Amino acid sequence: MTIDVQDTLPAASPPVSQPPHPLVEFWYHFRQNKGAMAGLAVILLIAVVALFADVVAPHDPNIQYRDAILVPPVWQEGGRWAFLLGTDDIGRDMLSRLIFGARLSMMIGLIVVTLSLAVGLALGMIAGFFGGVTDALVMRFMDILLSLPSLLLAVVVAAILGPGLVNAMLAVSIVVIPHYARLTRAAVMAEANKDYVVASRVAGAGPLRLMLVVILPNCVAPLIVQATLGFSTAILDAAALGFLGLGAQPPTPEWGTMLASSLQFLQRAPWVVTWPGVAILVTVLAFNLLGDGLRDALDPKLKR
């Protein structure tokens, strides 16, 4: 099937000598990856729901309906149409809490990725560009962070900073910095001695200009992929911290925290535990699918 596509491609595209715009080419390759497209669709859906949580959610996530405690989902016996996915142990609507949880998870992902990407990018650029002692110092420090299992490091940082959503985000950000630093350093080192960089240097470009304007745009592809996958790590680790009681605190409708606070109802009311987990899994899976698709589409070695 793939061979067919390749054969018909030159005939289908208009006979112009100009190569297509890189974005067009990227979209062409990306579109063929069904999994990545599905991931993108799910992420867009979650993002829209998160953005308009106030409008979409049928109830206030913190209102306790005293007459509706542990109501099962609507398709089970005793379910009510007012609470599509059921209610928790103090009568809060599960669906509304999940929707507001989506807002938190997307925010966690965005903040963690932005923070860790900014710091990791800066460290990696400095290490790769200047080399020598600077490089050794930065990278040894990254090695130290990498020698600790990521969840353990996050747990320790959260324990030092104290439990809470903001501290959990900080903890997870610190943990993933080395990944961005290493990636950036490798990309910068591969680019730094190429002719176009040397030409700019000879033309009088300073180190900041060389790093940010000349080299950086050519290192973006792997970073985009890593940042996408970083969303899934961030959401997963923040949820794990929430589950261990070191992340967001109840009554915050964070998915991991929701799971932990309803553990004792596992047998009586499985839905209070099932839904937050499904939400985490689906979101993380979507980001992983998207990341894989981006990697395939952006990596020239894999292009057909």
Partner 1 sequence: MLRFILTRVSLVIPTFLGVTFLTFLLIRLVPGDPIEVRVGERGIPPERLLELRHELGLDRPLWQQFLDYIAGVLQGDLGVSLVTRNSVLSEFLTLFPATLELAALAMLFATVVGLPAGIVAAVRRGSVFDHGVMGVSLTGYSMPIFWWGLLLILFFSVGLGWTPVSGRLDLLYYVEPVTGFMLVDTLMAGEYGAFWSALHHLVLPMIVLGTVPLAVVARMTRSAMLEVLGEDYIRTAKAKGLAGKRVIGLHALRNALIPVVTVIGLQVGTLLGGAILTETIFSWPGVGKWLIESINRRDYPALQGGVLLIATTVMAVNLLVDVLYGVLNPRIRHSR
The smaller minimum CB distance to partner 1, of residues 155 and 219, is found at: 155
Structure tokens at 194: 């190429």
Q: Which helix (H) or strand (E) holds 42?
A: helix 34-51
CA distances for 12 relative to 9, 112, 165, angstroms: 5, 43, 52
Q: Is 231 in the site for partner 1 (CB under 8 A)?
A: no
Among 210, 223, 284, 294, interactor with partner 1 by CB under 8 A: 284
Does 112 bind partner 1 (CB under 8 A)? Our answer is no
- Output phi, psi for 148, to 5 deg: -95, 135
164 binds partner 1 (CB under 8 A): no
Within 8 A by CB and 6+ apart from 145, the residues are: 153, 174, 175, 177, 178
Would you count residue 32 as binding partner 1 (CB under 8 A)? no
According to the binding rule CB under 8 A, does residue 276 interact with partner 1? Answer: yes
Local structure of residue 211 (DSSP, 8 states): I
Write down the least CB distance from residue 167 to partner 1, Å: 12
Q: Does 265 contact partner 1 by CB under 8 A?
A: no
156 interacts with partner 1 by CB under 8 A: yes
> Which amino acid, residue 295?
R
End-to-end distance of the chain based on CA atoms, in angstroms?
13
For residues 215 and 280, which CB has a smaller minimum distance to partner 1 in the complex?
A: 280
Count Cα neighbours of 107 within 13 Å in the Cβ-side half-sphere: 17
**Binding stretches for partner 1 (CB under 8 A):** 35, 140-141, 143-144, 147-152, 155-156, 159-160, 162, 232, 236, 239-240, 243-246, 256, 259, 263, 266-267, 270, 273-274, 276-277, 280-281, 284-285, 288-289, 292
